[in-house]
Amino acid sequence: MNSLFSITLNIFPALNGDSILVSYGPNEKKHILIDCGYVRTYNTFIKKELVEIANNGECLEKLIITHIDSDHIWGALPLLKDNQKKFIEIKEVWHNTFRHLSNDSEKEEDISNKNEKILKKILSRGYFNNEPKNGENQISAEQGTTLGALLLKGDYSWNNDFNKKAVCIENKQIVNIDIDSQIILLSPNKEKLDNLKTLWDSELTKYDLKYSKEDGELYDDAFEMLLTWVKESQAKGIQAISSNKMQIKELLASVPIEDKTPTNGSSISFILKIKEKKLLFLADSHPGLILKSLLEYQPEGIINFDSIKVSHHGSFNNISLDLLEKIDSKVHIFSTNGNKHNHPDKETIAHIVGRKSEFERKLFFNYKTLNSEYFNNEDWMKTYNYSIHYLNQDNYKINV
């Protein structure tokens, strides 16, 4: 790769959430923003970077919101509100909401006053809030303040890479950005999105509601807000259990049980290929589908990536032993402060470093957590050939 051509990953400290800015190129750089964490993430970190990008005469090639979860999308709301005056150009947004899941053949009906009242009641509850307040204002739950509503209001190019349909592998697998870079989509597929729609339909029945195409925007808003609450109820109890006295060999004896939550399964996950470099972004995806997609991408042998963003903040439910036999990298990235579900799980870290390797695996954390410190053990690092790195020491940036 040309010495002037650089790739930088900015792993923003997004509390227990995700937000990554990828910047690459020689002089005039390309930029891709993957998720936006929380409001604080945007106000403290993302906004400053975007203003600098705009001042350099550059833009966001893609804004990718991987799935509907408050720790991934909240920061996108103030971003899109601030960007009503278009302080930065966003060429394309990837974000799946209800309008991308509905079937064109579904019966059209006028929305009833009863349904409208129920939908607005759902909206009044707003997004599930697991962000520490610290004096910050709550995000408004009024109609028209959701991510989908703001994208419509701003007239963004929204899922145009997929002909305005869902971002899923059946609709398109490879999206070229320019001559040097492309995205290879790994997740979701139609089945995962159908599971999400089934979940939504089941939630609607609890309110004695059925879908009306005539007021899709209202359903879009309710869909986004309600699913953050559903995701929270699904997540309870789904975590690995390990003591503070276990050795790596004991942790390696544990076997992951795959996450089945439809919201995580709907995650947009992909390979970003930049010249000869391959970066793997797993969002909160299900390992079974990722493995299937990777076997189609490269049937034989291990795929060595230049970086791997570990799925779901290092949850043991979002890796599999078969997937770990297929992928590897010198750079593994964990995005979480560990305050929710105690991620990353010890079992996940153990299975990543416990494989035989001819190179040192560098584990990058954007926060120091109990479980990251658990592996900060000189004997283990020497035996298993890995090292621990904290990104606050490098302004949260990694050059790959």
pLDDT in tens, 155-181: 999 999 999 999 999 999 999 999 999
Higher pLDDT, 378 or 114: 378
Q: Is 32 part of a structural domain of the chain?
A: no
Q: Does some domain include residue 125?
A: yes
What's the mean pLDDT when you consider all of the chain?
A: 88
Question: What percentage of the chain exceeds 90 in pLDDT?
Answer: 68
Does 106 have pLDDT greater than 60? no
Read off the pLDDT band of 113 (50, 70, 90): low
Q: Which domain holds residue 315?
A: 99-130+140-154+165-393
Contact 149, 158 (CB under 8 A): no
- Asked whether the beta carbons of 285 and 187 are under 8 A apart, the reply is yes
pTM of the model: 0.91
Residue 326 neighbours by CB under 8 Å, 6+ apart: 291, 294, 295, 302, 303
Q: Tell whether 286 is covered by a domain.
A: yes
Cα 320 to Cα 326: distance, rounded to the nearest angstrom: 10
pLDDT level of residue 114 (50, 70, 90 thresholds): low
The confidence score (pLDDT) of residue 23 equals: 98
Q: Judge whether 34 lies within some domain.
A: no
Q: How far apart are CA 336 and CA 18, in angstroms?
A: 7
Count the domains in the chain: 1
SS3 231: helix
Most confident stretch, 1-15, 63-77, 301-315:
301-315
Least confident range of 57-66, 229-238, 380-389, 391-400: 229-238
- Looking at the domain assignment, is residue 21 inside a domain? no
The predicted structure's pLDDT at residue 227 = 80
Residue 70 belongs to a domain? no
Residue 111 lies in a domain: yes
| Helix/strand/coil for 137 | coil
Q: Give the mean model confidence (pLDDT) for residues 288-316.
A: 97
Alpha-carbon distance of 150 to 384, in angstroms, equals 48
Domain assignment of residue 73, yes or no:
no
Radius of gyration of the chain (CA): 21
Has residue 137 got a pLDDT over 50? Answer: no
